[in-house]
Chain A
Amino acid sequence: MASTSTVQNLFDRSAVYTLDDQLQLLAEVTQSFASSLDIDETLNNAIEKFMEYLDAEAASIFLLENNANELVCRACAGPVDINGLRLPAKAGIVGKTVVSRTCQIVRDVSKDPNFAKNVDDGTGFVTRSILCTPLMVKQECIGALELINKRGGDGLFDDRDRHLLSALASSASLAIHNARMADRLVEQERLQKELELAREIQLDLLPAPKPGDFPVVGMNVPAREVSGDFYDFFQREDGLIYFNLADVSGKGMNAALLMAKVSSLLHHLAKQISDPGDLLARVNREVCESASHGMFVTIVSGFVDPATRIVRMANAGHQPPLYHGGDGRFEEIPAAAPPLGIIEDVEFPVSTVTLRGGSLYLFTDGVTESLDENHRPLDVDGLIRLIRARAAIHVSKRLQDIVAELRRPQVSQRDDITLLLIECRPQ
């Protein structure tokens, strides 16, 4: 960084560079750094100026890359093009500069044990003297700026060269830092757009609300861009309505990808298989073949016959659905089998419920783990209270009201919220 003493030395300098020259160079370089985020082009233009102004035969900028294990030449000027040259992080004078974080003046490299002679051997260039200064951002060293072989005078770099190079290095460090931050922002924006696209695709996998008095309604509110929860419902040609509600373990993109696979499998197979237990057994075998990292799927999946109002469903390790009977009583229907994706040979027992004026609620743990006004988990009892208070409201509005209650603005949503409500109106 340009310290007070550096600035003072710039003023003291009179023999070779005038103060005006120095300030003009600094202003020019800083302006060029500020006007472009194409860091490679800007650094290559700047390094030419540094070399000419400090009257050196060659100049280069090395940056620490690959988890700071390597120094890579990202800009150079002079007779030999070493752009892209990779050195171990501690190699040579440049490595010593980076490790010690201090400027190195080497008047005769043949007498310096740190000099990496193999670079000259490879390029045919003869290095005699070196001036190398660290590139610092805050307290972190990100690389080094190196000048080779002073042309004029006694052929040696001196303290005045060192002070000027330090000032130029500060400007270059800031430019590199800014360009990296800009790259990061662009990358973040790209990832954000991809997540939004993934979310759109996920939403397309969820069924659209059905018109009229269709017996099933659902809602999904993800906590992040993509969700591990899903639900589905559709009416088959034989009149049976298939439904499911599931939760993939974990969060983020890997859960979303497994969600897409399982949901597609179920949507396809539920048109051919009518037994809820057989359906889950078939999907379980598929998931066990490919699921990795311990990922699993808890799910309630079944069929409702609108003519008889009989629901037949299987529960693989999922939160027990709640049946709110016409008499006002609530009953939990617990899982009888483990989640999908864990063990291949497992049976999925079928439960039967007849909707005699009652409603069946399926939900994920994002619902019961939502925090209430006292910042305590809602739990099943809390959900029962919410349902009971809204039992007379029409199904779609009731579901929206319950979800709105779970998403009160003073409490941040911790998990995906997904609910499915099945209710057959008297015919």
Chain B
Amino acid sequence: MKYTVREEGGYTVLELTGEVDLSCSPEARKQILLCLDEKRNLLVDMSRVNYIDSSGVASLVEGFQTAKKRNLKFGLVGVSGSAMSVLQLARLDKVFPIHLNVQERLKADG
């Protein structure tokens, strides 16, 4: 897994690339929590994630819960087909705010 961080429309966008599995989900978790520790609204761009397991999903869940506790905005954008099927299977597509891309999320925010 690789990641990049960029700023867009008042959000920090963490783009994950590759496989988010047990071996690298601690790094994904660290980056997610780092953004939230710095009180930044966070979008996780998952357009380049080709595999995610339950430990990776747990990192997203922790980000979602931490953001909620700290009144920060959190969401997923551009979720790839394979990642989406994992989220849908677990009905997590109804839990996370998911948008096609950052622009769509900004529109939804109003």
**What interface size band does chain B fall in?**
10 to 19
A170 CB → nearest B CB, Å: 39
A118 CB → nearest B CB, Å: 38
Q: Is the CB of B63 within 8 A of A338?
A: no
Q: A155 at interface (Cβ–Cβ under 8 A)?
A: no
The segment out of A32-40, A173-181, A234-242, A245-253 that lies at the interface is: A245-253
Q: Is the CB of A294 within 8 A of B95?
A: no
Q: 4 new A-B pairs (CB below 8 Å) besides A249-B61, A336-B91?
A: A293-B58, A293-B62, A335-B91, A338-B94
Q: Is the CB of B54 within 8 A of A294?
A: no
Cα distance A189–B22 in the bound complex, in angstroms: 25
Asked whether A335 and B58 contact (CB < 8 A) given A294-B29, A294-B65, A342-B65, the answer is: no
How many residue pairs at the A-B interface have CB separations less than 8 Å?
58
Cα distance A417–B58 in the bound complex, in angstroms: 20
Asked whether A251 and B22 contact (CB < 8 A) given A294-B59, A294-B62, A342-B65, the answer is: yes
Q: A339 at interface (Cβ–Cβ under 8 A)?
A: yes
Residue of B nearest to A293 (CB): B62
Q: Is the CB of B61 within 8 A of A294?
A: yes
Q: Is the CB of A338 within 8 A of B55?
A: no
B30 CB → nearest A CB, Å: 12
Cα distance A320–B22 in the bound complex, in angstroms: 23
- A335 contact set on B, CB distance < 8 A: 89-91
B 64-105 contacts with A by CB, 8 A = 64-65, 89-92, 94-95
Asked whether A342 and B95 contact (CB < 8 A) given A250-B55, A294-B29, the answer is: yes
Q: Is the CB of B54 within 8 A of A247?
A: yes
Q: A276 at interface (Cβ–Cβ under 8 A)?
A: no
Q: A305 at interface (Cβ–Cβ under 8 A)?
A: no
Q: B60 at interface (Cβ–Cβ under 8 A)?
A: yes
Cα distance A294–B95 in the bound complex, in angstroms: 13
B92 CB → nearest A CB, Å: 6
Q: Is the CB of A249 within 8 A of B55?
A: yes
Cα distance A288–B93 in the bound complex, in angstroms: 19
Q: B57 at interface (Cβ–Cβ under 8 A)?
A: yes
Q: A295 at interface (Cβ–Cβ under 8 A)?
A: yes
Residue of A nearest to B59 (CB): A294
Q: A303 at interface (Cβ–Cβ under 8 A)?
A: no
Q: A337 at interface (Cβ–Cβ under 8 A)?
A: yes
Q: A286 at interface (Cβ–Cβ under 8 A)?
A: no
- B60 contact set on A, CB distance < 8 A: 294
Cα distance A251–B62 in the bound complex, in angstroms: 16
- A342 contact set on B, CB distance < 8 A: 61, 64-65, 92, 95
- One of B54, B63, B91, B95 near A249 (C-beta < 8 A): B54
Cα distance A251–B94 in the bound complex, in angstroms: 25
- One of A247, A294, A338 near B91 (C-beta < 8 A): A338
B 42-66 contacts with A by CB, 8 A = 54-55, 57-65
B85 CB → nearest A CB, Å: 12
CB-CB nearest 7 A-B residue pairs: A294-B62, A317-B90, A294-B61, A294-B58, A249-B58, A249-B54, A338-B91
Q: Is the CB of B89 within 8 A of A251?
A: no
- B63 contact set on A, CB distance < 8 A: 294
- A320 contact set on B, CB distance < 8 A: 89
Cα distance A317–B61 in the bound complex, in angstroms: 13
